[in-house]
Homo-oligomer: A and B are copies of this chain.
Amino acid sequence: MLTVEEAAHRVAATAQPLAPEPVSLNEAAGRTLHETLRADRPFPPFNRVTMDGIALAFAALAAGQTTFVIERTQLAGQPPQPLRSPSTAAVEIMTGAALPPGADTVVRYEDLHISPGPDGQRHATVLVPPPAAGHNVHPVGSDCAVGTPLLLPGTCLGAPEMAVVATVGAHTVQVTRRARVAVVSTGDELVPVENTPLPHQIRRSNALMLAVAVRATGAAVSTFHFPDDPAALRIGLPALLTDYDLLLLSGGVSKGKADFLPTALREAGAEEIFHEVSQRPGKPLWFGRKPGGAVVFGLPGNPVSTFLTYHRYAAPWLRTVQAPLAVTPPPPTFAALAEDVRFKPALTYFLLVRLESGETDGILRAHPVFPNSSGDMTSLLPAHGFMELPLERDFFREGEVWKVWRF
């Protein structure tokens, strides 16, 4: 049976980058950039005033001048006019304004006294002289020069990234297209949510759970349901394998009489890459692909198994195809076990955990959440993810640090 590492490796080998598509600025948030965005101007684009006060020539101060006639007031957004009399005058100026030519320094209000002069004009007396020319000025180009790459291909466009996109005026951007994902539930025991199930039936919940999780990655999701009928699968599967990038099937992959899925998938042209992984939960995981078509995960049908195998294998696949050029993949999380854990079977153990950040030591602690059964989806609710415990060991001591896959 395949190990988790080998299975993950085979999954990763099928993750082909998706093509780019142009979207408008308003549609770009949450998408993955597929081009390099560069500074279209130096930043800041002008000598930017960083304090409200007066702009003056430092040389005048150095020459002994302490009181300056205020020539005029300049707000942010107003074109800068030259300082007419740099040796004796100043411009009252606001944060965000462009420094007037002839001035090189700003003295903030707190370091000034402003009073009406005998000439009817306002006079500013510098009480606390600035330490050097350039004080309270953010020089043009000091953040970056024209042409500096600001956002690289593979960047996920969150809020600060969108601010950069707007700043450089990219009203259309190339982003990686969304993955098209079909979420398929199977099983005659499953009835629609609106129905009242018969005693031996349950409502369909795995498909919705997967759809919500997949949509959070930015992918486009459609959901389908097939009865336990080889004929229905034979009719329905081929189009799904052609029209979608990814099929997520839940249930139908163990070795029972009604688990036709692996056979039906093979008949529809999907090649099996592996079936079964040495892990708990989720041992019956099926994985394959149709050459030139969809990649297929047959996820085990118990909700806890479905969700954990989705996060261990399918979610990273989606991240890779949708952010194929990512410069900085999301950093992994490691946590310390909050109690001893024993697990005898020679399987990699996906242990549900609740994470807690240590207020005094900064240690992330993983508190095990033990499901009543892998059919008990409520055990997922308090968990923040699962810890991956290797199959070579059967005892894990409190304090040991292992990788955690966050939901």
Residues of A within 8 A of B (CB): 25, 29, 41, 43-46, 48, 50, 52, 73, 75-80, 92, 94-98, 109, 138, 142-144, 150-151, 158-171, 187-190, 193-206, 208-210, 212-213, 215-216, 228, 251, 254-259, 301, 303, 307, 331-336, 355-365, 372-373, 375-378, 380-381, 401, 407
Contact = CB atoms under 8 A, between A and B. Distances in A.
A164 B98 CA distance: 57
A85 B109 CA distance: 97
B373 A187 contact: no
The SS class assigned to the A binding surface is: loop
A199 B163 contact: no
A216 B159 contact: yes
A236 to B, nearest CB: 18
Given A198-B79, A205-B164, A363-B362, A159 B258 contact: no
Per CB-CB distance, the 4 closest pairs between chain A and chain B, nearest first, are: A77-B188, A77-B189, A160-B380, A336-B362
A381 B340 CA distance: 39
Contacts of A199: 45-46, 79, 98
Nearest to A44: B375
Contact of A205 (B77, B167, B206): B167
Nearest to A374: B50
A159 to B, nearest CB: 4
A306 B31 CA distance: 23
A216 to B, nearest CB: 7
B203 A166 contact: yes
A47 to B, nearest CB: 10
A45 B198 CA distance: 10
A317 to B, nearest CB: 17
Given A25-B193, A143-B375, A199-B98, A163 B334 contact: no
B333 A357 contact: yes
A85 to B, nearest CB: 21
A319 to B, nearest CB: 16
A37 B336 CA distance: 34
A331 B355 contact: yes
A80 B254 contact: no
Contact of A228 (B75, B160, B359, B365): B75
A45 B202 contact: yes
B358 A334 contact: yes
A194 B171 CA distance: 6
A362 B365 contact: yes
A273 B192 CA distance: 51
24 contacts: A29-B212, A45-B199, A50-B373, A92-B257, A94-B257, A94-B259, A98-B199, A142-B373, A150-B378, A159-B209, A159-B212, A159-B307, A160-B407, A163-B205, A169-B193, A169-B194, A169-B203, A171-B194, A333-B357, A335-B357, A336-B362, A358-B401, A362-B365, A363-B363
Contacts of A95: 254, 256, 301
Contacts of A365: 362
A251 B76 CA distance: 11
B213 A159 contact: yes
Contact of A188 (B75, B144, B189, B331): B75
Contacts of A208: 25, 162-163, 165-166
A358 B372 CA distance: 31
Contacts of A375: 44, 48, 50, 138, 143
Contacts of A334: 357-360, 362
Contacts of A41: 197
Nearest to A355: B331
Contact of A189 (B76, B162, B356, B381): B76
